[in-house]
Amino acid sequence: MSGFRGTISRRNLLKTTAASGIVLATPTIFTSKAWSQSAFVNDPAKLGKLVLGFNVPQTGPYADEGADELRAYQLAVEHLNGEGDGGMLNTFSSQALEGTGILGNKVQFVTGDTQTKSDAARASAKSMIEKDGAVMITGGSSSGVAVAVQALCQEAGVIFMAGLTHSNDTTGKDKRANGFRHFFNSYMSGAALAPVLNNAYGSDRKAYHLTADYNWGYTTEEAIKSATEAMGWETVETVKTPLAATDFSAYITPVLQSDADVLVLNHYGGNMVNSLTNAVQFGLRDRVVNGKNFEIVVPLYSRLMAKGAGANVKGIFGSTNWHWSLQDEGSQAFVKSFGTKYGFPPSQAAHTCYVQTLLYADAVARAGSFNPCAVVEALEDFEFDGLGNGPTLYRGADHQCFKDVLVVRGKENPSSEFDLLEIVEVTPVDQVTYDPDHPQFAGGALGTCNPGA
Amino acid sequence: MLGLNKKDTTLLFIVVFMTLFAPFILNPFPVGSQLAQFNAGYPDLMQRFVIFGIFAIGFNILFGLTGYLSFGHAAFLGVGSYAGVWMMKLLSMNVIPAILMSMVVAGLFSVLVGYICLRRSGIYFSILTLAFAQMSFSLAYSVLTPITNGETGLQLGLNDPRILGVSQVEGSIPPANLFGIAMRDSYELTLGGWAFTFNAGYYLCAVVMIVAFYAAIRIFRSPFGLMLKAVKSNQQRMNYTGLNSKPYTFAAFVISGVYAGLAGGLMVAMDPLAGAERMQWTASGEVVLMTILGGAGTLFGPVLGAGFIKYFENIFSKINENVLHQWFAALPDSIENVLIAVVYPFIGKGWHLTLGIMFMLVVIFLPGGIMEGIQRLVNLFKRRRTTDDERAGGSSALANNAKAAE
C-alpha cells in the first residue's frame, strides 16, 4: 500500500509541477514565430543585435584556408563598423555603406568550425541561426560543405554567402535562392586555361587526368576535359585517386607507360601538393614524349598550395580567382589593410570572403532591409566594380558572379615566400561566361527565396 | 510500474523529467548575460543530445552487456540516414516512414555485418567492424556517388518525386513533418530575461528516446540481458556448459544496429541530409568515447556521455578569441593577454584537447565513467548521513559501508 501511495504522490508532484509551470507561463508573452511581428527569421530590429555567422574550417585539411578566411572576415567587420582604413569600401563602386555598421546596426559576429564535414558544418550553422541569431551565414572551404550549408540556409531562411567553393554544383545543380557565390568555378577554370594551354603547348596534345575522387574532382575533370578537347587535345585516360591518398606514386607510374604528354592534376590542397611532388620526383617534367616536352597542369591554384609544393610549382599553369599582386585600386587597398593588420598578403580565400561580406552588407543597405528576399532581389543582376576583379555581375539566374579569371604560372624566381605565382593572363569575362542551363550546370533550380518565419 | 522494479522506475522518471524539461534545464542563463554563451537549450543541440543518446544506448546494449567492442557502429547510423533521406525523396516528407525505413535498412545491414564479424571476438571483432565501416564510408564517399551523392551528401531537391506528397510548395522544399507538424516549428517562451525554445522535432526525439530507454531497461533486466552479461564475464565457460552464445551476441548486435539506424533516421527527420562522414571511423570512435565516458554497462551513463561530448563540440568550439577578450575585459591588458594565452589552446578549435584531457581524467580516476562519479558522490552523501544516524543511535552502517566499498 505504501508503494502505491508513493507512486500516486510522485505523479501528483509531477502534475502539480507541470500545472504550476503552465500557470506561470500564461501571463507572460507567449510568442510563436508564426505570430511574431517580423516577416523573417532573426530580424536584427527584433533581436536588438546584428549577428553574422562565419562558418569556416578551423580543424582538418583546410584549416590554413579557414584561418585566412577568418582574418578576412574580421577585417571586413572592422571596415563595416568604420574602424581601420576602410579597405575596399573606398574603392567599391556602390557607395551605400558609410562605415556605420549595416543600416545603423553595429556588426557583431560569431565563428564556428565546419571541420570540413557537412554534418559538423550544418550543426555549427544551425547553432548560429538558432542560438546566436545570425541573419547571414558565410564561409566554407570545400564545395561539399558549401552545398550542404547553402541548403540549410535555404530551409532556415537566412542568406548564405559562399566562401571558397569551386565546384560547378554550388551554382549548378545544387543552387539555392538564398545562396550566392562570388568565387569562380570549374567551368571557368577550363574556359580560361584552355586558350593559354593551346598557345603554350599547341593543339596536338594527349592529356592524362588524375582526379580527386569526390564531387569537386568530377566537375573539374569534366570542365577541363571538355575545354581542352574542344581545342583539339585528346584525353588518354582519367584516373580517380582517393581523397585520403598521400602517396601518388602508384598513380604516376602508369602515366609513364602511357603515350600522354600532359598530366592534369585535378587535386586541391594537400592532395595537389603530394601528387605534384610525386610527379616531379618521377622525372615527368624532364620527359620528352611524341617529340614534345611533358607538361603538368593544375586547374585550381592557391598560394597556400604553391607554398606547400615549393620549387615544384615553377612554370606550372593553373587558374585562380584573385591574386594579391593585382595592380587595380581595389586589390591594392585590400592588400594594404590586410597586410597592415596581419603582416602578410591575403590569399584568394581571404579575398572572396571579404568581398562576400561587403557585398551582403551593401545589398542590405541598398535594399533597406535585412529581409532575405529583399537582399536576394538587391543582389540579383547587381553590377559592381572596385572589389579586385574588375567589373563583375551577380547573375540572377544562378547567383554566380561573372568576372575576369586569372591564369597563373609558378614563378621561376620567387622574391619572397608569398611571391610564388605570376599572372600570365587575365581572361576576360566574356570568355568564361556560359548559359545558366549549360549541361555542366543543368539539373537544379533556384526555387524561391525563403525568409524563414 | 511498467514491469520495472522501483529503482528502474525512478531512473525512468528521472530520464522522462530531464528530457521533457530539457529546454528549461539547458537554458539556465538569461539571454543577455555573458554566460548565455553556455546555454545549450536551442533546438539543434537538444535534438543532438537525445539522438546521440539513443545511438549510445544502442551501442551500450552491445558493448556494455556483451563486451564486444564494435568500432564501426557509425556505419549503421549512416546507412539508416541514407535510407531515411531516400524515403523523404521518394515517398513523403512525413518522418514516420523515413524513421521506420532507417531502422529496417540498418537492421538488415547489421545482420550482414554481424554475421561475418561475429565469427571472431575481441580485438579481431573490433578490427573487422572497423574495416566494414571504413569500407562503407569509402563506398559512400566515391563509388556509390549516384546513391549517396558522395562528398556533398544526399539532400532533398526541388524536383524529387515524393509519391505520397508534393515535390515543392511555392518554390521551396516542403518541411519534414509528423502528420502536418513541421519538425522545425518552435514555440518561444519568454520569462523575464530568460527565453526557452520548445521545438516540435525535439519533442519527437525526446519521446522516441524515452521509449528507446525503456526498451533498453527491459533488455538489461531480461533473461536475454543476463545471458549477454554472461557472455561478457566468460564466454568460453558459457560455451563449455553447452550453451551456444552466438545467437545471443548476434541478436544484441542487430538490436544495437537497429538503435543506430533509429538515431540515423531521427537525424534525417530533424535535418534532411546524409553525409558520408557520418560513417567515418572518427564517428564510430565518438560513440565508443560517449559510452566509456558516461559509463559502459550502466543504463544512463551513455546518454550522459553523449550529452557531454556534444556539449563540448557545440559550445566550447564556438568560444573564440573575441569572446575571451570580452570576459577578461575588466582586467589590465597584460594580465588579460596572459590569461587569454593560457586559456586559448583549450577552447575554440582546441576543444578536442580539452575533451581529450577530460577523457583521460575520467578513464584514469573514474574507470566506471561519469556514472561512477555520481555513484561515489551519492555514497559519500549517504555515508555521511548514516554516520549522523549512527550518532543518533541508528544502525546498519556496516551494510551501507559495505555497499559503498563495492
* End-to-end Cα separation, chain A, in angstroms: 53
User: Which cell is B8 given?
Assistant: 528502474
Residues A280 and A293: their CA atoms lie apart, in Å, by 13
Pairing of strands A50-56, A134-139: parallel
Q: Find chain B residues with C-beta within 8 A of A24's C-beta.
A: 191
User: Which cell is B37 given?
Assistant: 554563451
Residues A164 and A166: their CA atoms lie apart, in Å, by 7
Number of structural domains found in chain B: 1
Which residue in chain B has the smallest CA separation from A241? B142
What are the two backbone dihedrals, phi and then psi, of residue A405, each rounded to the nearest 5 degrees?
-115, 140
Residues B280 and A181: their CA atoms lie apart, in Å, by 29
**Closest Cα to residue B103, out of B319, B261, B276?**
B261
**Record: contact B187-A122, CB cut-off 8 A:** no
**Domain coverage including residue B86:** 6-280
Name which of A9, A64, A118, A122 to mutate to probe chain B: the one with the most chain B Cβ atoms within 10 A of its Cβ: A118
Q: Is B3 in contact with B218 (CB distance < 8 Å)?
A: yes
**Closest Cα to residue B157, out of A54, A151, A403?**
A151
Among partner residues A58, A119, A445, which is closest to B275 by beta-carbon distance?
A119
Residue B203, C-beta contacts closer than 8 angstroms, at least 6 positions apart: B20
Q: Where in chain A is the domain with CATH 3.40.50.2300?
A: 44-184+324-398, 187-320
Among partner residues A28, A131, A213, which is closest to B42 by beta-carbon distance?
A131
Residues B257 and B255: their CA atoms lie apart, in Å, by 5
**Residue at B348 is within a domain:** no
pLDDT at site A16: 64
Q: Find chain B residues with C-beta within 8 A of A7's C-beta.
A: 1, 9
**Residue A148: other Cβ atoms inside 10 A:** 28
Q: What is the number of CB-based contacts under 8 A between chain A and chain B? A: 145
pLDDT at site A9: 66
Residues A137 and A307: their CA atoms lie apart, in Å, by 29
Strand, coil or helix: what is A419? Answer: coil
* Residue numbers of chain A with a pLDDT score lower than 50: 1-6, 23-37
Residue A331, C-beta contacts closer than 8 angstroms, at least 6 positions apart: A322, A324, A351, A388
User: Which cell is A277 given?
Assistant: 611532388
User: Which cell is B343 given?
Assistant: 586559456
Q: Find chain B residues with C-beta within 8 A of A33's C-beta.
A: 185-186, 188
Q: Find chain B residues with C-beta within 8 A of A25's C-beta.
A: 189, 191
**Distance (Å) from the C-alpha of residue B153 to the closest C-alpha of chain A?**
7
Q: Find chain A residues with C-beta within 8 A of B138's C-beta.
A: 242
Which residue in chain A has the smallest CA separation from B282? A117
Greatest alpha-carbon pair distance for chain A in Å reads 100
Q: Find chain A residues with C-beta within 8 A of B185's C-beta.
A: 33
pLDDT at site B314: 84
Helix runs in B245-368, H state only: 246-270, 281-294, 301-315, 321-327, 333-343, 351-365
Among partner residues B43, B138, B158, which is closest to A130 by beta-carbon distance?
B43
Residue A423, C-beta contacts closer than 8 angstroms, at least 6 positions apart: A323, A325, A326, A406, A407, A408
Which residues face B197 on adjacent strands?
B188
Interface of A with B in 138-197 (CB under 8 A): 142-144, 147-148, 151-152, 154-156, 169, 174, 177
pLDDT at site A181: 95
> For B350, what's the count of Cα atoms within 13 Å in the CB-facing half-sphere?
12
> For B192, what's the count of Cα atoms within 13 Å in the CB-facing half-sphere?
5
**Record: contact B42-A127, CB cut-off 8 A:** yes
pLDDT at site A276: 92
Q: Find chain A residues with C-beta within 8 A of B190's C-beta.
A: 28-29, 31
Among partner residues A7, A130, A215, which is closest to B150 by beta-carbon distance?
A215
Domain A187-320 has CATH 3.40.50.1100: no
pLDDT at site B341: 84
pLDDT digits (tens, 9 = 90+) for B24-72: 999 888 887 878 888 888 899 999 999 999 999 999 999 999 999 999 9
User: Which helix (H) or strand (E) covers residue A84, if one does?
Assistant: none
**Closest Cα to residue A113, out of A71, A59, A73?**
A59
**Residue at B391 is within a domain:** no
A20 in contact with chain B, both atoms CB, cutoff 8 A: no
Pairing of strands A159-162, A179-181: parallel
Instruction: State the average pLDDT for chain B.
Output: 88
* CA A329 to each of CA A334, A386, A422: distance values in angstroms, whole numbers, following the listed order: 9, 7, 19
Residues A332 and A3: their CA atoms lie apart, in Å, by 80
pLDDT digits (tens, 9 = 90+) for A31-60: 344 444 468 888 898 888 999 999 999 887
**Residue at B363 is within a domain:** no
**Residue at B57 is within a domain:** yes
Name which of B31, B38, B151, B194 to mutate to probe chain A: the one with the most chain A Cβ atoms within 10 A of its Cβ: B151
Q: Is B264 in contact with B102 (CB distance < 8 Å)?
A: yes
pLDDT at site A8: 54
Q: Find chain B residues with C-beta within 8 A of A398's C-beta.
A: none
Among partner residues A32, A58, A131, which is closest to B187 by beta-carbon distance?
A32
The CATH number linked to B112 is 1.10.3470
User: Which helix (H) or strand (E) covers residue A242, if one does?
Assistant: none
**Residue at B78 is within a domain:** yes
**Closest Cα to residue A56, out of B18, B5, B28, B320?**
B320
**Record: contact B152-A215, CB cut-off 8 A:** yes
* CA A16 to each of CA A9, A22, A28: distance values in angstroms, whole numbers, following the listed order: 10, 10, 19
Q: Find chain B residues with C-beta within 8 A of A127's C-beta.
A: 42, 44-45, 314, 318
**Residue at B141 is within a domain:** yes
* CA B401 to each of CA A48, B366, B370, B386, B392: distance values in angstroms, whole numbers, following the listed order: 57, 19, 21, 9, 17
Name which of A5, A131, A268, A448 to mutate to probe chain B: the one with the most chain B Cβ atoms within 10 A of its Cβ: A131
Tens-binned pLDDT, residue by residue, of chain B (406 aa): 678 889 899 999 999 999 999 999 998 888 878 788 888 888 999 999 999 999 999 999 999 999 999 999 999 999 999 999 999 999 999 999 999 999 999 999 999 999 999 998 889 999 999 999 999 998 998 888 889 888 788 888 888 888 888 888 877 888 898 998 888 888 888 888 888 989 999 999 999 999 999 999 999 999 999 999 999 999 999 999 999 999 999 999 999 999 999 999 999 999 998 988 889 888 999 999 999 999 988 999 999 999 999 998 888 877 877 778 777 877 888 888 888 888 888 877 788 888 889 889 998 998 889 999 998 999 998 887 766 655 554 444 444 443 443 3
ipTM over 0.90? The verdict is: no
Directed axis angle between helix B351-365 and helix B369-391, to 10°? 50
Q: Which CATH architecture has domain A44-184+324-398?
A: 3-Layer(aba) Sandwich (3.40)
Q: Which residues of A42-75 are buried (b: 16+ CB within 10 A; e: fewer)?
A: bbbeebebbbbbbbbbbbbbbbbbbbbbbbbbbb
Residues B290 and A206: their CA atoms lie apart, in Å, by 53
**Distance (Å) from the C-alpha of residue B28 to the closest C-alpha of chain A?**
14
Residues A328 and A223: their CA atoms lie apart, in Å, by 29
Directed axis angle between helix B43-66 and helix B301-315, to 10°? 140
Among partner residues B150, B172, B271, which is closest to A448 by beta-carbon distance?
B172
Task: Report the phi/psi class of residue B134: left, alpha or beta, with left for phi > 0 and alpha for psi in -120 to 50.
Answer: alpha
